[in-house]
Amino acid sequence: MPDRRGEPADPVAAALAAAFLDGPWTVAELDRRGRWAVGRPRARWVRILTDQVLERFPRPPVDEPRALRAFVARSTPYGRARAAAERAGEPLQVAHLVTATTAMGRNRWGAPALDTVADLAAFLDLAEAHLDWFADVRRLQVRAPAGPLHHYSSRWSAKRGAPRLLEAPLPRLKAVQRTVLHRVLARFPVHEAAHGFVPGRSPLTGAAQHVRARTVVRFDLEGFFTAVPAGRVFGVFRQGGYPEPVAHVLTGLLTHVTPLTVLRAMPAGGSGDERYRLRRNLSRAHLPQGAPTSPALANLVALGLDRRLAGWARAAGLTYTRYADDLTFSCADGLDPRRLQRAVAAIAADEGFALNPAKTRVRGAGARQLVTGLVVNEHPNVPREEFDRLKAVLHHCVRHGPDGQDREGHPDFRAHLLGRIARVEAVNPAKGRRLRERFDAIAW
């Protein structure tokens, strides 16, 4: 079976790596266990390999057994011994096999310690077979026909440009993902410039950073979730200290490869290049738009992007914030938008993202400056037309009743209106109170 990188697995190298990890990390013990694993007590090449392993890994790499296995497979002593054994007609074989011992590496942020895949299954209250089914690390669902084997429901929606695909996990997988979100990902640090999907931050806290700026420039990242590949997610969990096998399964739980039947149903919209990039991203393991963990993981993957853009902004005398895929820069003095766009595009590309040039916006103090949907010219406020539309809907609900006023077909119209009112209250309490009074007068 191929390993995570798609390379053919070498069972002898895997057995050697597992044997090395199964005991004291000393020259004599590694040498003894290595010869035992291949059943060749006089194999001098194992001692040479042992010296190289200890030089590369001064401490036992219990959190990265795959890296140890790859090192053994590519080492010169092992390669020469394997070739010599083939020539002699006695190819190397596995004589004794143990399960590789894994454990947390440096637990930087105090996340739950999960040393093995079995620990992960217990943490999620799943049988290991069910964990394997949900993670689908072999991506068997890609070609499976529509039916109960799939863990996501998919729905295309048209928008300006390429269409958007909502991939929502079904209830059982969604519950597993929420556990990972609240008990694991919540421990990982997010950059101070990120204001979307971060507890204690909001569109208001992001917009407030740009009030009374002379110039506001906004950029949009193309395909923010789908542009994040599984390898970047795996890297997030490895940074958190999780051993490779655990990080590998966690990545499978939280990423998705869009089934071929869904890709073939992509509706019209967007340029040829946009459609190609979207299809390419969806065809590989990516963050599904609709999973509860995707926003938090996208923030964590974008940590390097935020650090670099925030540093560049400070050096240039600018203020920078990000709300999901919306990047905003502002300054009290003049700035060169073209120079800014070149710098932001280069940094974003280097971090694995791309700007959508059609959505770049430059607004001076004489124009209405919008940040995360709020006007920031003098103080954060909801746009006048948004307030007027909501006021009109509430007025008609009072006069004619709420039935028939839900023109967009919201599943819970009452909760929808309360959410819109709460948004206004958070930004402008006086206007919010007036809307709340009208809502309270509705006969539900």
Q: How far apart are CA 61 and CA 71, in angstroms?
A: 11
CA distances (Å), 240 to each of 78, 106, 202, 297, in order?
32, 7, 25, 12
* Residue range 277-284: mean pLDDT, rounded: 95
pLDDT digits (tens, 9 = 90+) for 345-373: 999 999 999 999 889 999 999 999 999 99
**pLDDT at residue 4 above 70?**
no
Pick from 242, 202, 305: which is nearest to 105 by CA? Answer: 242
The pLDDT of residue 149 is: 77
Handedness of CA 370, 375, 376, 381 (dihedral sign): negative
Q: How far apart are CA 384 and CA 367, in angstroms?
A: 14
**pLDDT at residue 5 above 60?**
no
The DSSP bridge partners found for residue 361 are: 218
* Residue range 78-106: mean pLDDT, rounded: 94
**DSSP summary character for residue 389:** H
Pick from 226, 236, 234: which is nearest to 353 by CA? Answer: 226
The pLDDT of residue 89 is: 96
pLDDT digits (tens, 9 = 90+) for 186-230: 999 999 999 999 999 999 999 999 999 999 999 999 999 999 999
The DSSP bridge partners found for residue 223 are: none
pLDDT digits (tens, 9 = 90+) for 122-132: 999 999 999 99
3-class DSSP assignment, residue 253: helix
The pLDDT of residue 2 is: 43
pLDDT digits (tens, 9 = 90+) for 300-351: 999 999 999 999 999 999 999 999 999 999 998 878 899 999 999 999 999 9
* Residue range 266-274: mean pLDDT, rounded: 92
The DSSP bridge partners found for residue 8 are: 2
3-class DSSP assignment, residue 87: helix
- List, in order, residues 6 or more apart from 289 with CB less than 8 Å away: 164, 165, 166, 167, 225, 226
Predicted TM-score of the model (pTM): 0.88
Angle of helix 45-56 versus helix 76-87 axis, rounded to 10 = 160
Pick from 360, 325, 344: which is nearest to 219 by CA? Answer: 360
* Residue range 91-101: mean pLDDT, rounded: 91
The pLDDT of residue 44 is: 96
